[in-house]
Structure 1
Amino acid sequence: MPGLLLDTLHGKQSDRRPVWLMRQAGRYLPEYRALRAEKGGFLALVYDSEAAAEITLQPLRRFGFDGAILFSDILIVPYAMGQDLAFLAGEGPRLSPRLIDAALSSLTAVPERLTPIYETVRRVRAALTPEQTMLGFAGSPWTVATYMTAGEGSRDQHETRAMAYRDREGFAAIIEAITAVTIAYLRGQIDAGAEAVQLFDSWAGSLAPAEFERWVIAPNAAIVSALAESHPQTPVIGFPKGAGEKLVAYARETGVGALGIDETIDPLWAHANLPEAMPVQGNLDPLLLLAGGETLDTQAQRILDAFAGRPHIFNLGHGIGKETPIAHVERLLSTVRGARG
């Protein structure tokens, strides 16, 4: 029997809301910090399938979430495409060579870099109960391209946006290459046991409407279409963070089965404007979870009430912060699990 989360992604409503939290496996958990201290850096953990599976399962043991989200990173795709990847303490990820300086054709693909991720998925799925859903993921092409082009994250993605305007053909080739690898990568995760997948477009909000259509909607639609052809029963959750009112076009044109909503979106607006009966996921502010208190209870209940008329997965509007107290997560889950309808 599929679990509550998977049923919800397939459009079924229940008197209980499924819940999982973005970045639920990670630095806010003492058991994660202990394992990282023992094993080493972030990338070493991702490529140790036994350790990565253990990290993926840690929050389920502690909180009983309805879904396990693969412990990995969106930059595994450019790493498999041939860029070098390093995570620098206090500075974040670095990719080289930067595609602002080097041609895409200069990269030599290393597809075997995806293999340990599939093994992590297999290990986790084998450890879950039938009621718990295994979630895979990848970065959406636009967001991945921003890192591949600039070599690191930035506040406004100005180098990548400028390149996309200046060299339409060259940038389109980068997006197409990322799209092709992402399709293969997600198919591999599904074959290994992922029952649903999420596309993270963390920097979608930086684009003008026409650019959003070209670099967010079109490549995500291509991924969704390809997965629908090979794995028609596997739901795809789209998460274009910062899309704002462009969410409506994204929901209509990409073909995603469910839509993740960030914390800047009014849930009442989302329910009124998104396609009727489309499953949605979200959208508590991660900083509110960090702050806690009665406002946490009130706002969580507001989200539950706003989405009472459609399939809804309770989640955050982005990833859980590393300083978030365990007690605040427990308090949130008490509110969510006490809700009905």
Structure 2
Amino acid sequence: MTELKNDTFLRALLRQPVDYTPIWMMRQAGRYLPEYRATRAKAGSFMDLCRNPELACEVTLQPLDRFPLDAAILFSDILTIPDAMGLGLYFAEGEGPHFTHPVRSRADVERIGIPDPTVELRYVMDAVSTIRRELNGRVPLIGFSGSPWTLATYMIEGSGTKNFALSKAMLFDQPALLHSLLHKVAETVTQYLNAQIAHGAQAVMVFDTWGGVLSPSDFREFSLRYMAQIVDGLTREADGRRVPVILFAKGGGQWLGDMAATGCDALGVDWTLDLADARKIVQDRVALQGNIDPCTLYASPARIRDAVAAVLASYGHGSGHVFNLGHGIHPDANPEHAAALVAAVHELSRAYHAPIA
């Protein structure tokens, strides 16, 4: 494999010394970039873009050509897994994702199998291999998946939802059935992420987008339990390096201590919790990733710089921090403001990694 020229991101995740705080942005390859929109139009549809390894590679690299980011993240979608499980993913214009065959009964759960990621999801693995080759060691590549709970909500509801009525009805009325589904999804996610690692992903992240809608006890039973199972089953060494694992539960700041105990290497933090408080909760057992409000990018570059300074000060001195947004970049964000964010992080963070006099 090509030698990695910039490993700052990986070292920060492992809480090793770095010269500055590395940065990447959730959804950094996306609709806020005009070049992405052009490639998306060329692909024909969002899923056609995901299923084309060369075009997926193209959009993965686009933000790196604009900004000196410290990591690339695979361009794909969390719903590739339920699609590969036979649920029939499609996107309705202006309505987001839908499934032709939602999972609502025991027969539905028994019907779905655990797909072979090197077969049913071969296009994702081909994209990972292509991106690693084209990166040529510039920065590390992050692979990812949705969490079992988050994926299950889409699988049960059949689309996006505001109140999770069907998912929570199953949770309360048929918990054993939900556990059966979550077990299958967790096994699939584990195999999927291990396949990404085998094809070149140098870190992996599990997105629990909807973990924050659960009560504390339900989060531990129906979400955290399965993320811990995934962490236990992941390949942790590749290319002679440790493969860091990041867990992120949006709205899950209250559970960071429990999440840190899973054996993961880092936790994503959204903007509703100060990093100083998050650092106290995890007691430097894991690295922290985040956590500026994505809406900060609507502000002026001067105000963005101030906000960056505040986040860096909140985390404080030392390694173990990867700068990121608290969630994905918004489609109408100004790319020049994203550039200002990256520049401010790289400039202002060096003071936090210098020896203390």
Report the TM range for the smaller structure's normalisation: over 0.9
| Aligned residue type for 2:339 | E
| Aligned residue type for 2:112 | L
**What's the offset of the Cα at 1:277?**
5.0
Q: Who is 2:89 aligned against?
A: 85
Q: Per the alignment, in what secondary structure is the counterpart of residue 200 of structure 1? A: strand
TM-score (norm 1): 0.95
**What's the offset of the Cα at 1:293?**
4.2
> Which whole-Å deviations, capped at 9, do the CAs of 1:239-266 have from their partners, x for residues lacking one?
01111211221112x2211011111111
Q: 1:222 aligns with which of 225, 229, 242?
A: 229
| Aligned residue type for 1:294 | A
**What's the offset of the Cα at 1:294?**
3.2
Q: Who is 1:327 aligned against?
A: 336
- Aligned residue pairs: how many? 340
Contact kept? 1:81, 1:107, Cα under 8 Å: yes
Q: Per the alignment, in what secondary structure is the counterpart of residue 59 of structure 1? A: helix
1:213 aligns with 2:220: yes
| Aligned residue type for 2:287 | P
Q: 1:52 aligns with which of 50, 56, 75?
A: 56
Taking only the aligned residue pairs, the percentage that are identical comes to: 38
> Which whole-Å deviations, capped at 9, do the CAs of 1:58-101 have from their partners, x for residues lacking one?
11111121111000000111111111001122110111211126
Q: Per the alignment, in what secondary structure is the counterpart of residue 97 of structure 2? A: strand
Contact kept? 1:271, 1:306, Cα under 8 Å: no
Distance 2:204 2:315 in 1: 22
Contact kept? 1:85, 1:94, Cα under 8 Å: yes
Q: 1:109 to 1:247 in 2, by over 3 A?
A: closer
TM-score (norm 2): 0.91
Q: Per the alignment, in what secondary structure is the counterpart of residue 43 of structure 1? A: helix
Distance 1:131 1:35 in 2: 22
Contact kept? 2:268, 2:290, Cα under 8 Å: yes
Distance 1:13 1:151 in 2: 45
Q: 1:106 aligns with which of 92, 103, 111?
A: 111
Distance 1:129 1:338 in 2: 25
Worse-superposed segment, 89-98 or 288-297: 288-297
Q: Who is 1:193 aligned against?
A: 200
Distance 1:308 1:129 in 2: 33
Aligned-CA RMSD value = 1.7
Contact kept? 2:276, 2:316, Cα under 8 Å: no
1:202 aligns with 2:247: no
**What's the offset of the Cα at 1:228?**
4.8
**What's the offset of the Cα at 1:126?**
0.8
Distance 1:228 1:113 in 2: 21
Worse-superposed segment, 259-268 or 21-30: 259-268
| Aligned residue type for 1:234 | V
User: Unmatched 5+ residue regions in structure 1?
Assistant: none
User: Unmatched 5+ residue regions in structure 2?
Assistant: 353-357
